[in-house]
Amino acid sequence: MTGRKRVTAAAGRELEIVTSYERLAVLAPAWDDLWRRADGLVFQSHAWVDAWWRTATRRDDRDLLIGLVWNGAALEAVLPFATIRRRGVTVLEWAAKEHSDYGDALLAPDRNRDAVTALWWEIAAAGGFDMLYLNRLLPDAAIRGIIAPDVASGRLRPNHRSEISYRVAGPWRRGTDWFEAQSKKTRQNYRRGRKFMEEGGELRFRLMGPDEPLEPVLTRVAALKRKWLERHGRASDLFDEGAPALAALVDVMARLGILHVFVLELAGAIVAVSINVVQRRRMMAFITTYDPEFERASPGMVLMMDYIQWSIDQGLEMVDFMCGGEDFKRRFATESATLESVTGARTLVGRLAMLADSAGHAIKNWRSRPAATGAPADSAEPSPSHR
């Protein structure tokens, strides 16, 4: 089912599956309206999916597979999926999965539930993929209600991969209240870090203004991230030199009016940056990085403590570090949420791929068993951030 062909569903709703970018592009007004009504996160916005598709790598291996429920001219549901071919297996996953901390459906509060269920089955019937893998599911993710019958029946199964989201929330009325509640060692490290950097010039924490040019900051962020990734033996095409994705995604945040870029400047030069968004009265940290030349002073930690205090002073209810179980996030966290994943096979190829993945995971756990100490293997260690 491609183009503008629709299938009639319950209560006069119509179902559509979008597979072309041309069709995706013209959906912006209806999708944006649904996004506002559903109080969606940036990762489920039309602009985010559009920016990802326009800048995605490996385009020849990807296809759109976005499900829609229409009620007349209004959208009631978007299931923002895409497929990718990996090692001969075509996987159904979230659109913009690589750059989205939380994956989910976008559902209107007054949606027709039977029509949404019918859309889910229509996507399965449309085919074009061997297996499904949906990850980074929050405990209250809207998609959980849609897939619950398949999980209960065993058609979908929890996957061994999970990530963790650390958060800061509490009763503090002022940022200084939160700061004073930290351990003596943490407060001392913060002050030492600031003092060490101030020996090199004026140290300034600030929120960038909406009219300031972003390109120089994004160039700096990408360069610092490439250094960090190289040092840790990792890679991310989001930060490749000249890659367009980072600028396109940050531009989406800016146009939606949710972008907050915090910088720590030493003598006018940026030593740490955090690219954040504010939604649902939460400060949500998308990318944080720092200059490794100043690692001794922990500029990233100083910046985080500054924007946490700023967020509390602004009356925000939470600072959400989003996905990634790094220790520097855990250190400040007062709570956490586990981001789960589910998987299911549609074809024999998909079933074989799932078996191979499960076997590989079992072998990895077996090899990582501690040597005759009786201590449990740390197989539940959360995954590091994809950024």
8 A C-beta contact, residue 233 and residue 36: no
- Structurally, how many domains does the chain consist of? 2
Establish if 368 belongs to a structural domain: no
The CATH number assigned to the domain holding 257 equals 3.40.630.30
Establish if 370 belongs to a structural domain: no
Is the per-residue pLDDT at 375 higher than 70?
no
Distance from C-alpha of 108 to C-alpha of 271, rounded to nearest angstrom? 42
User: Is residue 193 domain-shared with residue 212, that is, in the same domain?
Assistant: yes
User: Is residue 176 domain-shared with residue 292, that is, in the same domain?
Assistant: yes
**b/e burial code for range 62-96 (CB count within 10 A of at least 16 → b):** bbbbbbbbbbeeebbbbbbbbbbeeeebbbbbbbb
Establish if 377 belongs to a structural domain: no
Establish if 331 belongs to a structural domain: no
Confidence of residue 370 (pLDDT cuts 50, 70, 90): low
User: Is residue 178 domain-shared with residue 152, that is, in the same domain?
Assistant: no
Residue labelled with tokens 């209107």? 108
Q: Which pLDDT score is estimated for 5?
A: 75
Q: What three-state secondary structure class fits 365?
A: helix
Establish if 358 belongs to a structural domain: yes
Name the residue among 94, 102, 56 with its Cα closest to residue 78: 94
Q: Which two tokens stand for residue 238?
A: 């989001």
User: Is residue 303 domain-shared with residue 183, that is, in the same domain?
Assistant: yes
| Model confidence, pTM | 0.92
User: Is residue 82 domain-shared with residue 176, that is, in the same domain?
Assistant: no
8 A C-beta contact, residue 306 and residue 262: yes
DSSP code per residue over 265-287: EETTEEEEEEEEEEETTEEEEEE
Cβ neighbours for 255, distance < 8 A, ≥ 6 positions apart: 47
Query: Between residues 348 and 326, which one has the greater pLDDT?
Result: 348
User: Is residue 179 domain-shared with residue 216, that is, in the same domain?
Assistant: yes
User: Is residue 121 domain-shared with residue 99, that is, in the same domain?
Assistant: yes
Q: What is the pLDDT of residues 242-290, one digit of tens each?
A: 999 999 999 999 999 999 999 999 999 999 999 999 999 999 999 999 9
Cβ neighbours for 67, distance < 8 A, ≥ 6 positions apart: 15, 16, 17, 18, 77, 78, 79, 81, 119, 120, 122, 123
What are the E-state strand segments in the chain? 7-8, 14-18, 62-71, 74-86, 89-94, 106-107, 131-137, 157-158, 163-168, 203-207, 259-266, 269-279, 282-290, 318-323, 335-345
User: Is residue 197 domain-shared with residue 242, that is, in the same domain?
Assistant: yes
* Rg, Å, the chain Cα set: 22
Q: What is the pLDDT of residues 118-162, one digit of tens each?
A: 999 999 999 999 999 999 999 999 999 999 999 999 999 999 999
Segments forming the whole domain that contains residue 36: 7-163+339-363
Q: How many CB atoms lie within 10 A of CB 162?
A: 19
User: Is residue 267 domain-shared with residue 174, that is, in the same domain?
Assistant: yes
User: Is residue 246 domain-shared with residue 346, that is, in the same domain?
Assistant: no
Confidence of residue 363 (pLDDT cuts 50, 70, 90): confident
Which of 54-63, 212-221, 282-291, 353-362 is predicted with the least confidence, judged by mean pLDDT?
A: 353-362
Distance from C-alpha of 303 to C-alpha of 72, rounded to nearest angstrom? 48
DSSP code per residue over 308-358: HHHHHHTT-SEEEEEE---HHHHTT-SEEEEEEEEEEESSHHHHHHHHHHH
User: Is residue 121 domain-shared with residue 178, that is, in the same domain?
Assistant: no
Establish if 239 belongs to a structural domain: yes
Instruction: Quote the percentage of the chain above a pLDDT of 90.
Output: 86
Q: Which pLDDT score is estimated for 1?
A: 45
Is the per-residue pLDDT at 382 higher than 80?
no
